[in-house]
């Protein structure tokens, strides 16, 4: 199956499609010309689908930008120039982008601009579960929230129409399990380009300088536009009523509306349901009419009480007398509203509705310890942690950052005691180093993060002479999110993409002590970290090794599979378990009855990074067929 | 597809394994196979950080009345698991009492087991727990697989042989494989499917 080809189909068609791929078809049908992103779950598959398309045709320009702020600015600039543009990133990406995004609605992007947010209720793969609808209120940007892949496609096209018509950005808020949901989606054809390409950049279309006295009229214009879009919301087909003439009503939006339909199938006396797809601006008249026709209305929304507060205020203004039930308990604000959590929520608010109790109690689900994530077999980060730890003293303070190497905080490495956000480590580390003469501060950064948000903290540390040792984990890729290239990835002469050397950047910034070591050379890395720690002020060790998951995958695509494998010499092995308890490669298994250690052939890639770890030299690397005969 | 009358089947299939085992392919094959058989399908992979050796799940809901693509715990009719510990977890969380558990009998020890914090799940434990819940268990192990990444298809082949996938014929899986793969990968998958 070639998703690129499928998405480029000329005629209307339908196919089983992930939300993240369906949105790319919508981009093609709408005539999007510029697509930018910085990778982050749950959105990376949007980029994968977009890049698959580019193998055959170039309906749009695509780039992985340095971070979300730059990505948003590139899309904004392109829209100023009349190009219909899209930027997408994960929930917390909006924090990074927001310094620019908050101005978007003050100005008028001419070509249309859709911002796709991958929000993550349940924090499946994020450092928090922030509800980005709050940004909509702050920035005067409309929000559409699809519940399934078909709606993803349809709402994207609606978002484009709203954006082009009103010359303002629109958020398409896709939550994790909408991004990744798969179902059959019906698409249109490619002949109707729904966007009107705007004229190319002209400052007269502005004003584009939001300063002092210019701000007030710009703000007023955006509020007026939002009022106009509210009218559209009142009549939008994405806000709809399921009317059964009940006395109870539910207001709901997004994926939880599908969980609700599952739950309501259990009962005869169903409440009426008002489903909201256009979340901002809310269709308040439509909602108030609904409220007026019911004695009690339950508001169901994931995470915060965003709609609830609006509805209660509007009902108050109109003097409505019904009971509006919303969030009261801390748990009401937490997690995804899948069936089990929604069941709990409804049963706690409306026990009389008669939903069943859960087949498996929520407590039983949290009782079982989850399988901890681990670094992959052969991962250079593992070798690095093993070596770095040898240079550290018990009371040194290690500061984690975001990437695969975050997993270093877990056993057996326990490197990294505090985590905030991408690139925080040198800022937080600097603060920790103040008034701290005896405990040394060791920070970490991945190479993608180095460019994304790492540099300001580094520059701060250099300028203010903070006593920190930074380890840069350079694996050539943005590994955690699925191996996207970044500014330090290899150059590409065809597209003119340049590789920026981290070492050269650090030297250019005037960092005097920069050590570089391949992480598989464990004793050299230990020494490098030792030496770096001895330097007063800011020092760096670049711990380098290519991402082995990417390496083995790419090899496999070329028909090359690992031909070597670690083996344990039973005559030498003394069951010390350093390979397991200190090094922690998942390829080593213990037989709990006999205590003997063996190698899981399904996992080992024969990289050999473990060999130096065994104190009795029992680990060897052999050709695969030899290892198998042991 | 739109005009075909969709058959009257309602089925929840829960799939799980460890990151790297190929759950994504397994679920993609099954969703397309059921679609090919003429059913309405919805599915979702849930992986989080799990690409890095954690648990990976996929949910598949077959039949018209399904709302969410997610399955509620305790309501899966069938659990298809690629690893023994994850099979046990599926049995006690997602599988309904009286449901069917099919698992590939391999073990990827978690760190907790290797360090000695947790006991390794045994076949016997799964059997006992399944009996308590009147669920049936099928262990599958395909000998001499050329590549571990074919275990998922080995598991599907086993499930087909035991006739554990209602509404699905071997041809539907073949058709799904034809859509998803080509060349050598397709032929090795088809070979395993035909046993
Ligand atoms: C603001 C923000 N954007 C994106 C992400 C998603 N994210 C998590 S880990 C990661 C990769 C970091 O790559 P790198 O620094 O190279 O470390 P690696 O995973 O390669 O070790 C990204 C982009 C995030 N957590 N926060």
Contact A416, A399 (CB under 8 A): yes
| Residues in contact with A228: Cβ distance below 8 Å, sequence separation at least 6, in sequence order | A166
The count of CB pairs under 8 A between chains A and B is 162
- Confidence band of B2 (pLDDT split at 50, 70, 90): very low
Q: What is the DSSP letter of A460?
A: H
Instruction: Give me the phi and psi of A217, to 5 degrees please.
Output: -65, -35
Work out the angle between the directed axes of helices A256-264 and A339-349 (0-180°, nearest 10). 70
Give the per-residue pLDDT at B54. 85
Q: Across chain B, what does the average pLDDT equal?
A: 91
| Residues in contact with A594: Cβ distance below 8 Å, sequence separation at least 6, in sequence order | none
Which range is least confidently modeled, A308-312, A376-380, A445-449, A621-625?
A621-625
Give the per-residue pLDDT at B51. 62
- How does strand A597-599 pair with strand A588-590? antiparallel
Structure-token pair, residue B184 = 């050598």
For an interface test with A, give the residue of B32, B68, B148 to mutate (most A CBs within 10 A). B68
Roughly how many angstroms between the first and final C-alpha of chain B, as a whole number? 31
Structure-token pair, residue A475 = 């694996």
Contact A71, A101 (CB under 8 A): no
Of the candidates A509, A573, A574, A519, the residue with the CA atom closest to the CA atom of residue A548: A519
From the candidate CATH numbers 2.70.70.10, 3.30.1540.20, 3.30.230.10, 3.40.50.970, the one assigned to the domain spanning A380-551: 3.40.50.970
Contact A93, A65 (CB under 8 A): no
> Using CA atoms, how far apart are residues A416 and A399, in angstroms rounded to an integer?
5
Total residue count of chain A as it appears in this document: 630
Contact B165, B159 (CB under 8 A): yes
H-helix or E-strand containing B92?
A: helix B84-93
Indicate if the pLDDT at residue A626 is higher than 90: no
Give the per-residue pLDDT at A368. 74
Mean pLDDT computed over B32-40:
96
Indicate if the pLDDT at residue A198 is higher than 80: no
Give the mutation target among A118, A446, A456 for probing the ligand 1 site: most ligand atoms within 8 A of CB: A446
Distances in Å between the Cα of A581 and the Cα atoms of A56, A414, A615 are: 49, 12, 13
Give the per-residue pLDDT at B148. 79
Distances in Å between the Cα of A5 and the Cα atoms of A25, A160, B25, B186 are: 11, 23, 19, 19
| The domains spanning A3-234 and A380-551 adopt the same CATH topology | yes
Instruction: Parse chain A into domains and list their residue ranges.
Output: 3-234, 240-365, 380-551, 562-628
For an interface test with A, give the residue of B44, B55, B88, B116 to mutate (most A CBs within 10 A). B44
Give the per-residue pLDDT at A191. 75
Percent of chain A that is helix, strand, coil (3-state, to 5): 40, 20, 45
- Confidence band of A625 (pLDDT split at 50, 70, 90): confident
Give the per-residue pLDDT at A627. 55
H-helix or E-strand containing A504?
A: helix A502-508
Chain Cα centroid distance, residue A148 = 19
| Residues in contact with B68: Cβ distance below 8 Å, sequence separation at least 6, in sequence order | A177, A255, A258, A259, A261, A262, A338, A339, B42, B61
Distances in Å between the Cα of A522 and the Cα atoms of A304, A382, A408, A566, A613 are: 47, 10, 16, 18, 9
Indicate if the pLDDT at residue A303 is higher than 50: yes
Indicate if the pLDDT at residue A118 is higher than 80: yes
How many CB atoms within 10 Å of residue A330?
7
Give the per-residue pLDDT at A592. 77
Of the candidates B168, B152, B175, B57, the residue with the CA atom closest to the CA atom of residue B103: B152
Q: Which of residues 47-86 of B touch A (CB under 8 A)?
A: 47-55, 65-70, 72-75, 85-86
| Residues in contact with A337: Cβ distance below 8 Å, sequence separation at least 6, in sequence order | A121, A255, A256, A259, A300, A301, A302, A345
> Using CA atoms, how far apart are residues A154 and A238, in angstroms rounded to an integer?
9
Ligand 1 contacts CB of residue A403 (under 6 A): yes
> What spacing in Å lies between the alpha carbon of A573 and ligand 1's midpoint?
38
Give the per-residue pLDDT at B146. 76
H-helix or E-strand containing A380?
A: helix A380-391
Which range is least confidently modeled, A79-93, A240-254, B38-52?
B38-52
Give the per-residue pLDDT at B1. 38
Give the per-residue pLDDT at B86. 95
Indicate if the pLDDT at residue A39 is higher than 80: yes
Percent of chain A with pLDDT over 70: 98
Of the candidates B3, B5, B42, B11, the residue with the CA atom closest to the CA atom of residue B166: B11
Chain Cα centroid distance, residue B10 = 17
- How does strand A113-119 pair with strand A170-175? parallel
Q: Residue written as tokens 């994850």?
A: B86
Give the mutation target among A69, A116, A448 for probing the ligand 1 site: most ligand atoms within 8 A of CB: A448
Distances in Å between the Cα of A545 and the Cα atoms of A474, A607, A617, A619, B179 are: 6, 12, 23, 21, 37
Indicate if the pLDDT at residue B36 is higher than 70: yes
Contact A545, A405 (CB under 8 A): no
Cis peptide before A412 (omega within 30 of 0): yes
Q: Residue written as tokens 């701000």?
A: A215
Half-sphere exposure of A582 (CA within 13 A, CB side): 16
> What spacing in Å lies between the alpha carbon of A619 and ligand 1's midpoint?
33
- 3 state DSSP class of A414: coil
- Confidence band of A616 (pLDDT split at 50, 70, 90): very high
Q: Residue written as tokens 């505090």?
A: A418
Please list the residues that pair with A446 across neighbouring strands. A473
Chain Cα centroid distance, residue A220 = 33
Alpha-carbon dihedral sign for residues A334, B67, A368, A597: negative
Indicate if the pLDDT at residue A193 is higher than 90: no
**DSSP, residue by residue, A280-293:** ES--HHHHHHHHHT
CATH number of A240-365: 3.40.50.920
Percent of chain B that is helix, strand, coil (3-state, to 5): 40, 20, 40
> Using CA atoms, how far apart are residues A556 and A550, in angstroms rounded to an integer?
10
Higher-scoring residue by pLDDT: B51, A142: A142
Structure-token pair, residue B47 = 């992986």
**Cα nearest neighbour of A581 on chain B:** B115
Indicate if the pLDDT at residue B94 is higher than 90: yes
Indicate if the pLDDT at residue A192 is higher than 70: no
Where does residue A559 fall: left (phi above 0), alpha (psi -120 to 50 degrees), or beta otherwise? left
Contact A618, A569 (CB under 8 A): yes
Contact B97, B91 (CB under 8 A): no
- 3 state DSSP class of A195: coil
- Confidence band of B49 (pLDDT split at 50, 70, 90): low
Structure-token pair, residue B159 = 């499930």
> What spacing in Å lies between the alpha carbon of A452 and ligand 1's midpoint?
9
Chain B positions touching A602 (Cβ under 8 A) are 106, 108, 148
From the candidate CATH numbers 1.20.1050.10, 3.60.15.10, 3.30.70.20, 1.10.10.10, the one assigned to the domain spanning A562-628: 3.30.70.20
Indicate if the pLDDT at residue A450 is higher than 70: yes
> Using CA atoms, how far apart are residues A577 and A614, in angstroms rounded to an integer?
8
For an interface test with A, give the residue of B37, B53, B99 to mutate (most A CBs within 10 A). B53
- How does strand A113-119 pair with strand A85-90? parallel
- Confidence band of A44 (pLDDT split at 50, 70, 90): very high
Indicate if the pLDDT at residue B178 is higher than 80: yes
What CATH class has A3-234?
alpha beta
Instruction: Give me the phi and psi of A272, to 5 degrees please.
Output: -75, 150
Give the per-residue pLDDT at A220. 97
Q: Residue written as tokens 């609830």?
A: A308
Give the per-residue pLDDT at B3. 38
Q: What is the pLDDT of residues A339-384, one digit of tens each?
A: 999 999 999 999 999 999 999 987 887 777 888 889 999 999 999 9
> Using CA atoms, how far apart are residues A288 and A415, in angstroms rounded to an integer?
54
H-helix or E-strand containing A222?
A: helix A215-234
CATH fold of B10-194: Pyruvate-ferredoxin Oxidoreductase; domain 3 (3.40.920)
Ligand 1 contacts CB of residue A118 (under 6 A): no
């Amino acid at each position: 199956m070639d998703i690129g080809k499928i998405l480029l189909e000329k005629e209307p068609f339908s196919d089983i499609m992930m939300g993240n791929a369906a949105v790319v078809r919508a981009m093609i049908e709408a005539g999007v010309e510029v697509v930018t992103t910085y990778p982050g779950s749950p959105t990376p598959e949007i980029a994968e689908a977009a890049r698959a398309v580019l193998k055959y045709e170039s309906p749009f320009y695509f780039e992985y930008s340095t971070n979300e702020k730059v990505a948003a600015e590139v899309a904004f600039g392109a829209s100023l120039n009349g190009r219909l543009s899209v930027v997408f990133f994960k929930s917390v990406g909006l924090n990074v982008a927001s310094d620019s995004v908050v101005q978007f609605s003050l100005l008028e992007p001419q070509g249309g601009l859709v911002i796709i947010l991958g929000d993550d209720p349940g924090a499946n793969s994020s450092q928090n579960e922030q509800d980005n609808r709050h940004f909509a209120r702050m920035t005067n940007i409309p929000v559409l929230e699809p519940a399934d892949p078909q709606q993803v496609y349809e709402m994207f096209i609606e978002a484009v129409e709203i954006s082009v018509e009103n010359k303002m950005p629109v958020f398409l808020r896709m939550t994790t399990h909408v991004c990744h949901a798969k179902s059959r989606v019906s698409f249109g054809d490619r002949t109707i380009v729904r966007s009107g390409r705007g004229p190319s950049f002209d400052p007269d279309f502005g004003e584009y300088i939001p300063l002092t006295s210019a701000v007030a009229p710009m703000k007023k214009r955006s509020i007026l536009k939002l009022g106009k879009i509210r009218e559209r919301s009142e009549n939008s087909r994405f806000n709809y009523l399921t009317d059964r003439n009940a006395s109870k009503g539910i207001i709901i939006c997004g994926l939880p509306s599908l969980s609700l339909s599952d739950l309501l199938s259990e009962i005869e006396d169903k409440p009426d349901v008002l489903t909201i797809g256009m979340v901002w601006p809310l269709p308040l008249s439509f909602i108030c009419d609904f409220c007026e026709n019911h004695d009690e209305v339950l508001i169901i929304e994931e995470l915060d009480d965003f709609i609830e507060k609006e509805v209660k205020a509007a009902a108050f203004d109109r003097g409505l007398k019904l009971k509006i039930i919303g969030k009261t308990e801390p748990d009401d604000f937490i997690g995804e509203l899948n069936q089990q959590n929604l069941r709990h929520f409804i049963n706690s608010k409306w026990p009389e509705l008669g939903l069943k109790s859960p087949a498996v109690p929520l407590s039983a689900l949290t009782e079982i310890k989850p399988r901890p994530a681990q670094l992959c077999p052969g991962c250079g980060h593992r070798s690095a942690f093993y070596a770095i730890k040898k240079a550290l003293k018990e009371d040194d303070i290690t500061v984690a950052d975001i990437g695969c190497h975050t997993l270093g905080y877990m056993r057996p490495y326990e490197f990294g005691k505090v985590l905030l956000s991408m690139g925080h480590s040198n800022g937080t580390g600097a603060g920790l180093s103040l008034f701290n003469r005896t405990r040394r501060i060791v920070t970490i950064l991945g190479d993608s993060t180095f460019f994304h948000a790492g540099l300001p903290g580094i520059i701060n540390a250099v300028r203010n002479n903070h006593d920190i040792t930074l380890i840069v984990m350079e694996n050539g890729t943005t590994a955690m999110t699925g191996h996207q290239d970044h500014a330090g990835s290899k150059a590409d002469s065809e597209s003119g993409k340049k590789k920026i050397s981290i070492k050269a950047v650090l030297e250019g910034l005037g960092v005097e002590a920069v050590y570089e070591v391949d992480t598989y050379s464990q004793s050299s890395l230990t020494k490098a970290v030792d030496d770096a720690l001895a330097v007063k002020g800011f020092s760096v060790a670049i711990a380098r090794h290519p991402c082995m998951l990417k390496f083995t995958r790419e090899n496999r695509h070329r028909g090359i599979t690992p031909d070597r494998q670690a083996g344990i010499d039973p005559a030498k092995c003394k069951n010390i378990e350093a390979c397991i308890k200190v090094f922690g490669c998942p390829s080593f298994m213990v037989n709990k009855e006999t205590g003997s250690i063996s190698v899981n052939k399904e996992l080992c890639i024969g990289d050999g990074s473990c060999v130096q770890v065994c104190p009795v030299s029992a680990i060897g690397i052999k050709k695969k067929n030899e290892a198998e005969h042991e | 597809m739109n005009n075909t009358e969709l058959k009257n089947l309602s089925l929840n299939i829960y799939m799980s394994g460890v990151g790297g085992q190929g759950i994504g392919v397994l679920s993609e094959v099954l969703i397309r196979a059921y679609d090919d058989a003429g059913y309405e399908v919805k599915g979702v992979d849930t992986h989080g950080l799990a690409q890095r050796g954690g648990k990976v799940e996929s949910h598949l809901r077959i039949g018209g009345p399904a709302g969410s693509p997610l399955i509620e715990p305790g309501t899966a009719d069938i659990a298809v698991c690629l690893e023994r510990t994850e099979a046990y977890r599926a049995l006690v969380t997602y599988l309904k009492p009286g449901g069917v558990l099919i698992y590939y009998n391999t073990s990827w020890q978690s760190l907790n087991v290797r360090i000695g914090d947790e006991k390794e799940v045994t076949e016997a434990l799964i059997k006992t727990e399944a009996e308590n819940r009147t669920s049936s268990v099928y262990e599958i192990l395909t000998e001499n697989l050329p590549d571990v990444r074919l275990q998922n298809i080995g598991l599907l082949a086993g499930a087909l042989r035991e006739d554990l996938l209602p509404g699905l014929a071997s041809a539907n899986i073949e058709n799904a494989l034809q859509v998803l793969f080509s060349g050598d990968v397709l032929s090795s998958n088809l070979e395993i499917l035909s046993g």
